[in-house]
Structure 1
């Protein structure tokens, strides 16, 4: 049976361990510019909170890009902590994601993307986001494998001009990153609809000589819980 002295010793060691872990987390946050996952809400601006937006927690259902090595796995994109996903494929990498919580309705409204800091040869440049239905899961990105920002803008300008409805096989967002843009770039979607999955299509790296795609973070803003959208809404 443990006496009071041994219990105090054990508690003291536990306290020291927690303090050391806290110091380690602070040191890591200074390196990556964000105080760990617990402070991920800092990616939300005050106006986002006023609008009821939240960070949508997601998990990866499928990734067809392979891994450059065992350290740089797809799951790294879900954490803004300095870790990086390095694909094996050079272009056209698909990541299928879905909310990790059982929400009544999840409405994705923005994507947040960050390239790695210096030291990686093929940081992400361009990508597309789709909100596919079960019927368009496998074909959503096929027709847009070489899409540019100009082509995306023209697609949506034409749809608005002609009052055309949104097709779930069409991309709702095009994101583009510049060199060494290690802080998340936030890009709004063209439409907001309830979605059980989101498909991110990584088009190309920044370097024409890049042999793969390197991406540091992939996150989403949106509405969850009681908020519902019966039809698509232009943002």
Structure 2
């Protein structure tokens, strides 16, 4: 599919479409949209971090053209430029980017978790801290759309693989964890609704509340 096809089919502004494609790590190759593989993105990020160190560039002022040229050994320059724009904020003159530290640290966190069933939370936090540059933040809040935390462990969950049917999605979530807080459930259910009223109705239909140690939790309504 081409970007023109997408804009003709979807009722949204060009800016909204571009932002969504950026979030999905989609680039344009010969006019067609292509999704960058996770492992390839890892390779690109590691290469960029290495170049920044070698060139002694500020992570807040990375020259796009020069960096893309340095990356020509692992990908075409036009691919490198698009990827750089995905992982950073472009300057007003369009010549440089400020690396998005949250984007990078989140990627490394998912790289640790995505091929494991689960990991001890304390061990994960130690490994995560060691993976990213010292000045990059590591905060579990960054991962709320990607992980499930339960009984001192953390595990990866791919929201794109969850059913679009509310009952099936909720069944899957509760098969992974018995009790959920509202803030934990929200990232995985909000895309199924268009308003707070609809979201609350979904919860009322499929879950019930319990109190545990003064904290409100949601559990399956039936079974």
TM-score, structure 1 normalization: 0.23
**Bigger proportion of residues as helix:** 2
Q: Which structure would you say has the larger RCO, counting Cα contacts within 8 Å and 6 or more residues apart?
A: 1
TM-score, L = length of structure 2: 0.24
